[in-house]
Every structure is written in C-alpha cells, then in structure tokens.
Structure 1
C-alpha cells in the first residue's frame, strides 16, 4: 500500500520503489491501462501483472494514472508529462530517466 493505493510489484517499498528501480528518486507508480492497477514499473507488470499489456491512449491522458510514492498525490498523464520530473504536490524529484520509457505506458 502506498497512501491508500495498492501498488503491486516485486519487493515494493513504501515509496513505490521496486526490485528493478530503487534509487532515492524512483518514487512513482503507474496505473496500467490494461488492468487499472498500479505498478512501479513495466518489469513488475510483466512479472505479476495481468498479462495483457496495453498503453494509455492519448485521448485518456487527462485521467489520473501516476502516483507519487512520497506524498500519494495522483497525477493525470498530462500533468506527469509536463511536471519536469518534480511532484507538483510535495516538490520532491522523480527519476528523469523514466522519461526514456514513457512509450511503455503512454501511447
């Protein structure tokens, strides 16, 4: 659980870090479009997710689908893509390297 949201994955900590991504700034979870469940990363979803991976369609980017593991704030996809890797609520940084993997989550 992370701030009243269940985050599934492999060795998930209180700030949504997992066995795959666990640096100090790895603090987001992503709600996967296919199963509407939060996971820290694509690898966690592959390991224990629904087995039917689908990316979020662009016309649904206004929906909340990113969770800050530090404060529990939920961001829409549009907000996340525009936030410059900083939580708009608690101002703690997100891993900017996650931007390299957005194609795995958002269409």
Structure 2
C-alpha cells in the first residue's frame, strides 16, 4: 500500500493546488501527527493548527512518485535516491518551515 499524501486537489504524485510543476513531488511530514502533506499551505488550510517542522533525521520527506521515505540529507541531493525523480530546487526557500 502506498503512503498517504494529504493536501488540496493532489494528483497521484503529490502535486497540489499550491505547487503543481513537474518536480513538485516532495511531500513533507508534520512532526506532531506524522502525516505527510503536499505542502505546508495545504496542511494549514486543512487543519486547525499550523504546520510544525520535523526533525531532519526522521524521514521528513516522502517522494510522491515512488513513496520512498527519506531523511534531509537524501532529500537535499535534489532527486529521489530510489526512483531518481528530480525535486523542485526552490523548495529550499521553505527549509525553515519544514525542518527543525
């Protein structure tokens, strides 16, 4: 069974209404509940609390293409270490939101 990706109008690879380019397939885990969301905006629009960053070593990222869970170092290589799909390089602008 594939890991569930939460979000607004998500496709089968985790792209959402907010981020929907070809390489917008990195889904982020919320620390408090351990759920993966397409983005922090989807999380905050869907829940009654704000997105809380995850520890960098606790599989905080899920590849939307193959559902491989990875740590921060694997994610920052720029592509999924399992399937090779590229991630959006502009996501680094949000590191302070996603990772603790």
SS at 1:43 equivalent: helix
Q: 2:67 aligns with which of 63, 72, 75?
A: 72
Number of the residue aligned with 1:39: 37
Q: How does 1:52-91 map to 2 (within 5 A)?
A: 52-56=50-54, 60-81=55-76, 83=77, 85-91=78-84
- For normalisation by structure 2, the TM-score amounts to 0.90
Runs of 4+ in 1 over 4 A off after TM superposition: none
The alignment covers a number of residue pairs equal to 100
Q: What stretches of structure 2 of length at least 5 have no aligned partner?
A: none
RMSD value over aligned CA atoms? Answer: 1.5
Q: Is the 8 A contact 1:16 1:69 kept in 2?
A: yes
C-alpha separation between the residues in 2 aligned to 1:34 and 1:72?
20
- For normalisation by structure 1, the TM-score amounts to 0.84
C-alpha separation between the residues in 2 aligned to 1:54 and 1:20?
18
Q: What stretches of structure 1 of length at least 5 have no aligned partner?
A: none
Q: Is the 8 A contact 2:79 2:86 kept in 1?
A: yes
SS at 1:64 equivalent: coil
Q: How much does 1:61 deviate?
A: 2.3
